[in-house]
Amino acid sequence: PLALNVGLYPKLPYDPLKDFEAISRVATQPNLLAAHPKVPVKTVEELIRHAKANPGKITYASNGNGSPQHLAAEQLKRMAGIDLLHVPYKGAAPTAAALLAGEVSIAFNVILLPLPHVQAGKLTGLAVASSRRSPLAPDIPTLAELGYPIDIDTWYGLVAPAGTPKEIISKLNAETVRILDLPDLRDRTRSQGIELGSSTPEQFSAFLKADIAKWTQVIREFSITID
């Protein structure tokens, strides 16, 4: 949300670049595009053909208006030239339940929620919206591989209030790096589809600036606001 809020909320009461000091990135979690079996598709290419043959009849769930999953689907619509109907839900769990129940045709969601159902044959895994394939689902291609460079990795990071002394930021960063390198922690989070990875404060600050610019542009292109 930190990277999206600038574009979504014109009256945002804080500036994520000026009001916080970056400490470190912590982790990323990929999102999976999955389809309900009622939709006769097994691949993204088949989904696009089906959507073009049935304009406006394919529904997609998102985790809410302005969520990364909403933006990913809108990007796919534009890139593929298809018409999909948006059905927003209030969070990842309701989105997952709606797709499993067949209330909607397709949905992007954090990989941990749909993947067990894909593996059980209750959903169809189409693509990962990430820059690389997920170790949890190495046979599922990325959208980028298929010609649709959509990356909505859910990322986590640590920030402190603006003005926090640099020596404190350095100590917090060092401790974060130490903790993220613990093998047991890495194993536990990897089993949940979460990849741990630290950064320097400078790297995280640059990443945050670029991510805010990227998503603010996308949000403005689609005229999405919450306020």
pLDDT at 172: 98
**185-208 burial: b if 16+ Cβ within 10 Å, else e:** ebeebeeebbbbebbebeebbebb
pLDDT at 85: 96
Ranges of each domain in the chain: 17-28+153-221, 31-146
Q: What is the pLDDT along the chain (227 residues), one digit of tens a residue?
A: 788 998 998 888 999 999 999 999 999 999 999 999 999 999 999 999 999 999 999 999 999 999 999 999 999 999 999 999 999 999 999 999 999 999 999 999 999 999 999 999 999 999 999 999 999 999 999 999 999 999 999 999 999 999 999 999 999 999 999 999 999 999 999 888 899 999 999 999 999 999 999 999 999 988 887 75
pLDDT at 223: 87
CATH class of 17-28+153-221: alpha beta
Q: In sequence order, what are the residues at sequence separation of 6 or more whose Cβ sits closer than 8 angstroms to the Cβ of residue 62?
A: 69, 70, 73, 86, 87, 88, 89, 95, 107, 108
pLDDT at 227: 59
The two domains 17-28+153-221 and 31-146 share their CATH topology (first three levels equal): yes
pLDDT at 144: 97
Q: What is the DSSP string of 4-60?
A: THHHH-TT-SS-TTTSEEEEEEEEEE-EEEEE-TTS--SSHHHHHHHHHHSTTTEEE
Bridge-based pairing of strands 154-161 and 20-29 is: antiparallel
Q: What is the DSSP string of 127-142?
A: EE-SSS--TT-TTSPB
CATH topology of domain 31-146: D-Maltodextrin-Binding Protein; domain 2 (3.40.190)
Residue 94 contacts residue 11 (beta carbons within 8 Å): no
Q: Which of 153, 145, 119 is nearest to 44 (CA)?
A: 145
